[in-house]
Amino acid sequence: MKRFLKSLGRVTGLTHWAKPMAFKWQKWQHKKVNRAFRKKFPNQVLPPDKWLFETFQTNYVKYTVEGNLCAKEIIDWSKPYLPEDALWKILDWGCGTARVTQHIHQHAPYSLVYGADINSEMIQWNTLHIKNAFFHSLSEHTRLPYPDDFFHLIYGISVFTHLPIKQQITWLHTLQKALQTGGILILSTHGSFFENKLSKKQHALLQNQGFLELVEGNQELSAGDRNYSVYQNASILKQQFEKDFQIIQCYEGKEFPKIMGGQDLWILQKK
C-alpha cells in the first residue's frame, strides 16, 4: 500500500495527498494491535500517532519492543570498544520521539544518555515524559550543544537516510569533534537493499554519483522529512568515513536485511 501511494503521487502529482492517506492507512492497519496494547499497558505513555508516523510507524508494539531491541543491539555493538571504568556519555543524534533513547539506560545503566533532534516539539514531549535521559533541540545549523571530545558513543539511526549529502559531510565533522578519541559512531544509510525501488535512470545516477537524493512531491521539503530520501553507495561512503574513523564493521543491508531493516549499518571508531 505504501509503495502504491507513492507511485500514485508521482504519476498524478498528488503526493501531498498521498502522505495523509498513508498516515490514515497505517492507523487503520494497526488499529487492532494498538487497541490491545493500550488495554494491556494502560499506563504506557506514547507519543502522538502523527509523530510515530513521521519517525517510525504507528504500531505501538513495534515502537516499544523494537525500540528496546535496537537499544540493546547498539550497546552490544559498542561495549567491546568503550572503557570499562568510565561513566559512558551516549548521544542519540536525531532521537525523534525517543523510541530508542528511552531504553538505552536499561542496557547501559552506568551511563548518561542524551537525545538531540531538530524537532523542538518532540524534544519538549521527550523532556516531559522520558526521565532517564537529557534532551536538547538542534537548530538548522550543523552544531551540537555539547563540548568537543564529550561522548563515548553517538548513534544516528535513519538520519543520514533523509539528510542531503552536503549536510551529511558537515554533520559528520561535527559528530567526530563531539566524540572522544576512540569513541564509537553508529550510523545507518540507504544502500544496495533499496536499489530495486529505483528506476533505471535513478539507479544509473546512483552508480555515477555515488549518491541519490529523492524528494517525494513537495520540492520545499526540509531535510529530515520522511519523504526526503537519500541513497548511497557503500564503497564511496567507506572512503569518506575512513578519513577520520576506523571502520569496525559495515553490515550491508542486502546481505544482512534483518539487522537494520535493510539499511546499511556502520560501526565506526574515532581515530
Alpha carbon of 198 to those of 15, 121, 206, 269: distances in Å? 17, 33, 9, 32
Residue 256's pLDDT is what?
95
| SS3 assignment, position 250 | strand
Rg of the chain in Å (alpha carbons): 19
- Residue 9 clears pLDDT 60, i.e. is over it: no
Q: Which residue has the cell 563531539?
A: 178
- Average model confidence (pLDDT) across the chain: 90
Q: Which helix (H) or strand (E) segment is 180 a member of?
A: strand 179-189
pTM to 2 decimal places: 0.89
Alpha helices for the chain (secondary structure H)? 2-12, 15-29, 31-40, 49-55, 60-78, 101-107, 120-129, 165-178, 200-209, 234-241
Residue 220's pLDDT is what?
55
Tens digit of each residue's pLDDT (9 = 90 or more) over 57-106: 999 999 999 999 999 999 999 999 999 999 999 999 999 999 999 999 99
Tens digit of each residue's pLDDT (9 = 90 or more) over 221-238: 556 566 789 999 999 999
Say which amino acid occupies 259: I
Please say whether the beta carbons of 93 and 156 come within 8 A: yes
Tens digit of each residue's pLDDT (9 = 90 or more) over 25-49: 888 899 999 999 999 999 999 999 9
pLDDT band at 14 (very low <50, low <70, confident <90, very high): very low
Beta-bridge partner residues of 113 = 90
Residue 24's pLDDT is what?
87
Residue 219's pLDDT is what?
52
Share of the chain above pLDDT 70, in %: 89
For the chain, count helices (H), then strands (E).
10, 9
**Alpha carbons 180 and 58: distance in angstroms, whole number:** 36
Residue 174's pLDDT is what?
97
Please say whether the beta carbons of 112 and 134 come within 8 A: yes
Residue 223's pLDDT is what?
61
- Residue 149 clears pLDDT 80, i.e. is over it: yes
- Residue 178 clears pLDDT 60, i.e. is over it: yes
* All structural domains of the chain: 68-270 (3.40.50.150)
